[in-house]
Protein backbone atom coordinates (compact mmCIF):
# COMPACT_ATOMS: atom_id res chain seq x y z
CA UNK A 1 0.00 0.00 0.00
CA UNK A 2 1.38 3.46 -0.90
CA UNK A 3 2.13 6.05 1.77
CA UNK A 4 -0.64 8.49 2.56
CA UNK A 5 0.04 12.20 2.25
CA UNK A 6 0.16 12.48 6.06
CA UNK A 7 2.75 9.67 6.34
CA UNK A 8 4.91 11.22 3.64
CA UNK A 9 4.76 14.58 5.39
CA UNK A 10 5.68 12.95 8.69
CA UNK A 11 8.70 11.22 7.15
CA UNK A 12 9.75 14.38 5.37
CA UNK A 13 9.64 16.32 8.61
CA UNK A 14 11.83 13.75 10.35
CA UNK A 15 14.38 12.72 7.69
CA UNK A 16 17.54 14.70 7.00
CA UNK A 17 16.52 17.17 4.33
CA UNK A 18 17.16 20.59 5.75
CA UNK A 19 16.44 21.30 9.38
CA UNK A 20 18.43 23.31 11.86
CA UNK A 21 17.80 21.38 15.12
CA UNK A 22 19.00 17.76 14.93
CA UNK A 23 17.10 15.39 17.20
CA UNK A 24 14.84 18.02 18.79
CA UNK A 25 11.19 18.86 18.35
CA UNK A 26 9.74 22.13 19.59
CA UNK A 27 6.39 21.08 21.01
CA UNK A 28 3.88 23.90 20.73
CA UNK A 29 0.66 22.82 22.38
CA UNK A 30 1.44 20.73 25.46
CA UNK A 31 -0.36 22.09 28.52
CA UNK A 32 -0.75 21.01 32.13
CA UNK A 33 -3.48 18.51 33.00
CA UNK A 34 -3.79 18.76 36.79
CA UNK A 35 -7.11 16.87 37.01
CA UNK A 36 -5.65 13.86 35.20
CA UNK A 37 -2.61 13.93 37.47
CA UNK A 38 -4.81 14.20 40.57
CA UNK A 39 -7.12 11.36 39.55
CA UNK A 40 -4.19 9.09 38.71
CA UNK A 41 -2.52 9.93 42.03
CA UNK A 42 -5.58 9.51 44.29
CA UNK A 43 -7.17 6.57 42.46
CA UNK A 44 -8.36 3.40 44.17
CA UNK A 45 -8.66 -0.14 42.86
CA UNK A 46 -11.47 -2.65 42.65
CA UNK A 47 -11.18 -6.34 41.75
CA UNK A 48 -13.81 -6.54 39.03
CA UNK A 49 -17.40 -7.71 39.12
CA UNK A 50 -20.46 -8.07 36.96
CA UNK A 51 -20.44 -4.49 35.73
CA UNK A 52 -20.95 -1.99 38.55
CA UNK A 53 -18.86 -0.40 41.25
CA UNK A 54 -21.36 -0.40 44.11
CA UNK A 55 -21.12 1.82 47.21
CA UNK A 56 -23.35 2.08 50.28
CA UNK A 57 -24.46 5.61 51.23
CA UNK A 58 -26.69 6.94 53.96
CA UNK A 59 -28.22 10.36 54.39
CA UNK A 60 -31.53 9.65 56.14
CA UNK A 61 -31.91 8.57 59.75
CA UNK A 62 -34.75 7.31 61.92
CA UNK A 63 -38.09 5.98 60.69
CA UNK A 64 -39.84 9.04 59.39
CA UNK A 65 -41.05 10.15 62.82
CA UNK A 66 -42.50 6.78 63.82
CA UNK A 67 -41.18 5.80 67.27
CA UNK A 68 -37.73 7.25 66.47
CA UNK A 69 -37.37 10.13 68.92
CA UNK A 70 -36.34 10.35 72.55
CA UNK A 71 -39.43 10.46 74.78
CA UNK A 72 -39.87 10.53 78.51
CA UNK A 73 -41.40 7.66 80.49
CA UNK A 74 -42.11 6.78 84.11
CA UNK A 75 -42.72 3.68 86.11
CA UNK A 76 -44.33 0.96 83.98
CA UNK A 77 -45.19 3.06 80.89
CA UNK A 78 -45.03 1.18 77.60
CA UNK A 79 -42.10 2.30 75.44
CA UNK A 80 -41.74 2.01 71.65
CA UNK A 81 -38.92 0.90 69.33
CA UNK A 82 -37.99 1.48 65.70
CA UNK A 83 -35.92 -0.42 63.15
CA UNK A 84 -33.34 1.60 61.18
CA UNK A 85 -33.49 0.86 57.43
CA UNK A 86 -31.86 3.77 55.62
CA UNK A 87 -28.88 2.38 53.74
CA UNK A 88 -29.00 3.01 50.00
CA UNK A 89 -26.67 1.82 47.28
CA UNK A 90 -25.22 3.80 44.40
CA UNK A 91 -23.87 2.01 41.35
CA UNK A 92 -21.32 3.24 38.83
CA UNK A 93 -20.79 0.97 35.80
CA UNK A 94 -17.12 0.44 35.00
CA UNK A 95 -16.07 1.23 31.47
CA UNK A 96 -13.36 0.01 29.09
CA UNK A 97 -11.15 2.36 27.07
CA UNK A 98 -8.59 1.83 24.33
CA UNK A 99 -6.05 3.86 22.40
CA UNK A 100 -3.56 2.47 19.89
CA UNK A 101 -1.13 3.44 17.14
CA UNK A 102 0.31 1.74 14.10
CA UNK A 103 3.44 2.30 12.01
CA UNK A 104 5.01 0.53 9.07
CA UNK A 105 8.39 -1.20 8.79
CA UNK A 106 9.09 1.19 5.92
CA UNK A 107 8.72 4.19 8.21
CA UNK A 108 11.13 2.59 10.68
CA UNK A 109 13.67 1.92 7.94
CA UNK A 110 13.42 5.57 6.93
CA UNK A 111 14.13 6.33 10.58
CA UNK A 112 17.20 4.07 10.54
CA UNK A 113 15.58 1.25 12.53
CA UNK A 114 15.14 -2.39 11.52
CA UNK A 115 12.72 -4.87 13.10
CA UNK A 116 14.91 -7.80 14.09
CA UNK A 117 12.59 -10.38 15.67
CA UNK A 118 10.48 -12.95 13.89
CA UNK A 119 7.62 -12.95 16.38
CA UNK A 120 5.58 -10.49 14.38
CA UNK A 121 4.93 -8.13 17.27
CA UNK A 122 7.81 -5.77 16.54
CA UNK A 123 9.26 -5.91 20.05
CA UNK A 124 12.80 -6.36 18.76
CA UNK A 125 14.44 -3.52 16.84
CA UNK A 126 17.97 -2.40 16.05
CA UNK A 127 19.42 0.91 14.94
CA UNK A 128 21.34 1.12 11.69
CA UNK A 129 24.98 2.10 11.97
CA UNK A 130 25.54 5.86 11.60
CA UNK A 131 21.82 6.36 12.16
CA UNK A 132 22.49 9.68 13.85
CA UNK A 133 23.83 11.02 10.53
CA UNK A 134 20.52 10.54 8.72
CA UNK A 135 17.91 11.10 11.40
CA UNK A 136 16.81 14.49 12.58
CA UNK A 137 13.78 13.63 14.69
CA UNK A 138 13.24 9.95 15.58
CA UNK A 139 9.97 8.82 14.03
CA UNK A 140 9.52 6.00 16.53
CA UNK A 141 10.17 8.25 19.50
CA UNK A 142 7.91 10.89 18.00
CA UNK A 143 5.05 8.44 17.49
CA UNK A 144 5.35 7.08 21.03
CA UNK A 145 5.45 10.61 22.45
CA UNK A 146 2.41 11.49 20.35
CA UNK A 147 0.70 8.33 21.63
CA UNK A 148 1.30 9.29 25.25
CA UNK A 149 0.13 12.86 24.78
CA UNK A 150 -3.03 11.78 22.95
CA UNK A 151 -3.87 9.42 25.82
CA UNK A 152 -3.37 12.24 28.31
CA UNK A 153 -5.46 14.72 26.32
CA UNK A 154 -8.36 12.40 25.62
CA UNK A 155 -8.48 10.86 29.11
CA UNK A 156 -8.27 14.32 30.66
CA UNK A 157 -11.27 15.38 28.56
CA UNK A 158 -13.22 12.33 29.74
CA UNK A 159 -12.38 13.06 33.38
CA UNK A 160 -13.76 16.60 33.02
CA UNK A 161 -16.78 15.51 30.97
CA UNK A 162 -20.34 14.54 31.86
CA UNK A 163 -20.39 11.20 30.05
CA UNK A 164 -22.58 12.32 27.15
CA UNK A 165 -19.78 12.59 24.56
CA UNK A 166 -19.11 8.83 24.64
CA UNK A 167 -21.73 6.57 26.19
CA UNK A 168 -19.25 3.67 26.41
CA UNK A 169 -16.62 5.70 28.28
CA UNK A 170 -16.42 6.83 31.90
CA UNK A 171 -18.47 9.81 33.09
CA UNK A 172 -16.28 12.51 34.59
CA UNK A 173 -16.42 15.40 37.03
CA UNK A 174 -19.30 17.20 35.29
CA UNK A 175 -21.53 14.16 35.83
CA UNK A 176 -20.87 14.23 39.59
CA UNK A 177 -20.59 17.94 40.40
CA UNK A 178 -23.47 19.24 38.29
CA UNK A 179 -24.71 22.74 37.42
CA UNK A 180 -28.22 22.04 38.74
CA UNK A 181 -28.00 19.56 41.63
CA UNK A 182 -31.75 19.61 42.37
CA UNK A 183 -32.58 17.21 39.56
CA UNK A 184 -31.32 14.06 37.87
CA UNK A 185 -29.64 10.96 39.25
CA UNK A 186 -26.12 10.09 40.32
CA UNK A 187 -25.20 6.45 40.69
CA UNK A 188 -28.90 5.66 40.27
CA UNK A 189 -29.94 7.75 43.29
CA UNK A 190 -32.43 10.55 42.62
CA UNK A 191 -31.16 13.95 43.78
CA UNK A 192 -34.69 15.36 43.78
CA UNK A 193 -35.68 12.86 46.51
CA UNK A 194 -32.41 12.45 48.42
CA UNK A 195 -31.58 16.11 48.98
CA UNK A 196 -28.40 15.17 50.88
CA UNK A 197 -27.11 13.64 47.61
CA UNK A 198 -26.59 17.08 46.05
CA UNK A 199 -23.43 19.06 45.41
CA UNK A 200 -23.22 22.79 46.06
CA UNK A 201 -23.57 25.12 43.06
CA UNK A 202 -23.51 28.78 42.06
CA UNK A 203 -24.42 28.62 38.39
CA UNK A 204 -26.99 30.00 35.97
CA UNK A 205 -28.80 26.66 35.89
CA UNK A 206 -28.99 26.49 39.66
CA UNK A 207 -30.22 30.09 39.80
CA UNK A 208 -33.00 29.25 37.35
CA UNK A 209 -33.99 26.34 39.59
CA UNK A 210 -34.37 28.71 42.55
CA UNK A 211 -30.92 28.29 44.08
CA UNK A 212 -27.71 30.32 44.08
CA UNK A 213 -26.95 31.87 40.72
CA UNK A 214 -23.62 33.05 39.32
CA UNK A 215 -21.44 35.25 41.51
CA UNK A 216 -20.84 38.86 40.50
CA UNK A 217 -17.23 39.53 41.48
CA UNK A 218 -16.48 42.96 42.97
CA UNK A 219 -13.62 44.26 45.15
CA UNK A 220 -16.02 46.34 47.30
CA UNK A 221 -16.94 45.39 50.87
CA UNK A 222 -13.99 43.04 51.22
CA UNK A 223 -14.57 41.30 47.89
CA UNK A 224 -17.85 39.74 46.79
CA UNK A 225 -16.26 36.54 45.47
CA UNK A 226 -13.98 36.10 48.47
CA UNK A 227 -16.88 36.69 50.86
CA UNK A 228 -19.02 34.15 49.02
CA UNK A 229 -16.26 31.54 49.10
CA UNK A 230 -15.71 32.12 52.82
CA UNK A 231 -19.38 31.41 53.52
CA UNK A 232 -19.39 28.50 51.09
CA UNK A 233 -16.43 26.86 52.83
CA UNK A 234 -18.51 26.50 56.00
CA UNK A 235 -21.18 24.64 54.02
CA UNK A 236 -18.66 22.32 52.37
CA UNK A 237 -17.26 21.23 55.75
CA UNK A 238 -20.69 21.10 57.41
CA UNK A 239 -21.10 17.36 57.00
CA UNK A 240 -17.50 16.34 57.59
CA UNK A 241 -16.07 17.34 54.23
CA UNK A 242 -12.47 18.40 53.73
CA UNK A 243 -12.47 20.17 50.36
CA UNK A 244 -8.75 20.27 49.53
CA UNK A 245 -8.92 20.42 45.72
CA UNK A 246 -9.78 23.73 44.08
CA UNK A 247 -9.36 23.90 40.27
CA UNK A 248 -10.34 27.02 38.37
CA UNK A 249 -10.26 28.66 34.96
CA UNK A 250 -8.14 31.72 34.21
CA UNK A 251 -10.89 34.35 34.55
CA UNK A 252 -12.03 32.96 37.90
CA UNK A 253 -8.49 33.15 39.26
CA UNK A 254 -8.06 36.64 37.85
CA UNK A 255 -11.21 37.79 39.67
CA UNK A 256 -9.83 36.45 42.95
CA UNK A 257 -6.53 38.24 42.34
CA UNK A 258 -8.27 41.55 41.67
CA UNK A 259 -10.26 41.31 44.90
CA UNK A 260 -7.19 40.39 46.95
CA UNK A 261 -5.14 43.25 45.48
CA UNK A 262 -7.92 45.78 46.00
CA UNK A 263 -8.35 44.82 49.64
CA UNK A 264 -4.71 44.81 50.70
CA UNK A 265 -1.39 43.48 49.51
CA UNK A 266 1.25 43.78 52.22
CA UNK A 267 5.03 43.65 52.21
CA UNK A 268 7.49 43.19 55.07
CA UNK A 269 9.77 45.82 53.50
CA UNK A 270 7.25 48.40 52.33
CA UNK A 271 8.31 49.95 49.04
CA UNK A 272 12.05 49.86 49.70
CA UNK A 273 14.33 47.86 47.40
CA UNK A 274 13.15 46.02 44.32
CA UNK A 275 9.45 45.21 44.03
CA UNK A 276 7.86 42.22 42.31
CA UNK A 277 4.49 43.24 40.93
CA UNK A 278 3.31 39.67 40.46
CA UNK A 279 1.13 37.70 42.85
CA UNK A 280 2.26 34.26 43.94
CA UNK A 281 0.06 31.15 44.02
CA UNK A 282 -3.18 31.72 45.94
CA UNK A 283 -4.66 29.62 48.70
CA UNK A 284 -8.14 29.62 50.19
CA UNK A 285 -9.23 27.70 53.27
CA UNK A 286 -5.79 26.09 53.32
CA UNK A 287 -6.27 24.84 49.75
CA UNK A 288 -4.12 25.85 46.77
CA UNK A 289 -6.01 27.40 43.85
CA UNK A 290 -4.90 25.42 40.79
CA UNK A 291 -5.25 26.76 37.26
CA UNK A 292 -6.52 24.06 34.93
CA UNK A 293 -6.16 25.09 31.25
CA UNK A 294 -8.72 22.49 30.20
CA UNK A 295 -11.47 24.57 31.83
CA UNK A 296 -10.54 27.41 29.48
CA UNK A 297 -10.63 24.98 26.54
CA UNK A 298 -14.11 23.84 27.57
CA UNK A 299 -15.41 27.42 27.73
CA UNK A 300 -15.30 27.49 31.54
CA UNK A 301 -12.65 30.14 32.15
CA UNK A 302 -15.06 31.73 34.69
CA UNK A 303 -15.66 28.48 36.57
CA UNK A 304 -14.16 26.69 39.59
CA UNK A 305 -14.63 23.23 41.08
CA UNK A 306 -13.98 22.61 44.79
CA UNK A 307 -14.14 19.08 46.19
CA UNK A 308 -12.95 16.53 48.74
CA UNK A 309 -10.70 13.93 47.03
CA UNK A 310 -11.65 11.37 49.69
CA UNK A 311 -15.20 11.44 48.37
CA UNK A 312 -14.76 11.81 44.60
CA UNK A 313 -12.10 9.71 42.91
CA UNK A 314 -11.15 7.40 40.06
CA UNK A 315 -11.61 3.66 40.54
CA UNK A 316 -9.33 1.42 38.45
CA UNK A 317 -9.87 -2.28 37.89
CA UNK A 318 -6.89 -4.15 39.34
CA UNK A 319 -4.34 -4.97 36.64
CA UNK A 320 -6.50 -3.38 33.94
CA UNK A 321 -5.35 0.24 33.96
CA UNK A 322 -2.62 1.11 31.47
CA UNK A 323 -2.68 -2.50 30.30
CA UNK A 324 -0.23 -2.61 27.39
CA UNK A 325 -0.46 -4.76 24.30
CA UNK A 326 1.72 -5.31 21.25
CA UNK A 327 -0.60 -7.20 18.90
CA UNK A 328 0.92 -9.44 16.21
CA UNK A 329 0.96 -7.91 12.75
CA UNK A 330 -1.20 -9.30 9.95
CA UNK A 331 0.64 -12.06 8.05
CA UNK A 332 0.49 -10.11 4.80
CA UNK A 333 1.39 -6.60 6.05
CA UNK A 334 4.59 -5.27 7.62
CA UNK A 335 3.02 -3.18 10.35
CA UNK A 336 3.57 -2.66 14.06
CA UNK A 337 0.83 -2.02 16.60
CA UNK A 338 1.04 -0.52 20.08
CA UNK A 339 -2.05 -0.45 22.26
CA UNK A 340 -3.17 0.26 25.83
CA UNK A 341 -6.49 -0.31 27.58
CA UNK A 342 -7.96 1.28 30.70
CA UNK A 343 -10.86 -0.11 32.75
CA UNK A 344 -12.46 1.98 35.48
CA UNK A 345 -14.89 4.72 36.40
CA UNK A 346 -15.18 7.98 38.32
CA UNK A 347 -17.21 7.48 41.51
CA UNK A 348 -18.63 9.56 44.34
CA UNK A 349 -19.40 8.51 47.89
CA UNK A 350 -20.42 11.97 49.16
CA UNK A 351 -21.20 15.08 47.12
CA UNK A 352 -22.40 17.70 49.61
CA UNK A 353 -18.71 18.44 50.27
CA UNK A 354 -18.18 19.55 46.64
CA UNK A 355 -19.27 22.51 44.58
CA UNK A 356 -19.16 24.22 41.19
CA UNK A 357 -19.03 28.02 40.99
CA UNK A 358 -19.33 30.51 38.12
CA UNK A 359 -18.66 34.22 38.08
CA UNK A 360 -20.44 36.79 35.94
Does residue 211 form part of some domain? yes
CATH number of the domain where residue 201 is located: 3.90.1690
Does residue 221 form part of some domain? yes
- pLDDT of the chain, 360 residues: tens digit per residue: 555 666 656 655 555 444 444 444 555 768 999 999 999 999 999 998 778 999 999 999 999 999 999 999 999 999 999 999 999 999 999 999 999 988 888 877 776 667 665 454 445 555 555 545 444 446 777 777 888 899 999 999 999 999 999 999 999 999 999 999 999 999 999 999 999 999 999 999 999 999 999 999 999 999 999 999 999 999 999 999 999 999 999 999 999 999 999 987 665 666 666 767 778 889 998 999 999 999 999 999 999 999 999 999 999 999 999 999 888 888 888 888 889 999 999 999 999 999 999 999
Number of domains in the chain: 1
Average pLDDT score, the chain = 87
Does residue 40 form part of some domain? yes
Does residue 159 form part of some domain? yes
Q: What is the 3-state secondary structure of the chain?
A: CCCCHHHHHHHHHHECCCCCCCCCCCCCCCCCCHHHHHHHHCCEEECCCCCEEEEEECCCCCCCCCCCCCCCCCCCCCCCCCCCCCCEEEEEECEEEEEEEEEEHHHHHHCCEEECCCCCCCCCEEECCCHHHCECCCHHHHHHHHHHHHHHHHHHHHHHCCCCCCCCCCCCHHHHCCCCCCCCEECCEECCCCHHHCCEEECHHHHHCCCCCCECCCCHHHCHHHHHHHHHHHHHCCCCCCCCEEEECHHHHHHHHHHHHHCCCCCCCCCCCCCCCCCCCCEECCEEEEECHHHHHCCCCCEEEEECCCCEEEEEEEEEEEEEECCCCCCCCCEEEEEEEEEEEEEECCCCCCEEEEEC
**Which domain range does residue 39 map to?**
5-16+30-49+84-264+280-358
Does residue 224 form part of some domain? yes
Does residue 173 form part of some domain? yes
Does residue 162 form part of some domain? yes
Does residue 270 form part of some domain? no
Amino acid sequence: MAFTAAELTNIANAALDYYFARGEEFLQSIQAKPLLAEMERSSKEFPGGKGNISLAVKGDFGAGGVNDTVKGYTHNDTVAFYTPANIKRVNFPWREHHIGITLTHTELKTDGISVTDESGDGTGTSNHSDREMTVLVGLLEDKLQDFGEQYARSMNRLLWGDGTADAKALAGMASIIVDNPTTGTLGGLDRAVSTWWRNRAATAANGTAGGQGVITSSPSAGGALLTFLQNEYRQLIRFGGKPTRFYAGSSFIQAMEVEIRANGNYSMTGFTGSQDGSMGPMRFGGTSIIYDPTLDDLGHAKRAYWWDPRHIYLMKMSGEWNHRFTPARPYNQFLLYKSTTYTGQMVAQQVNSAGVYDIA
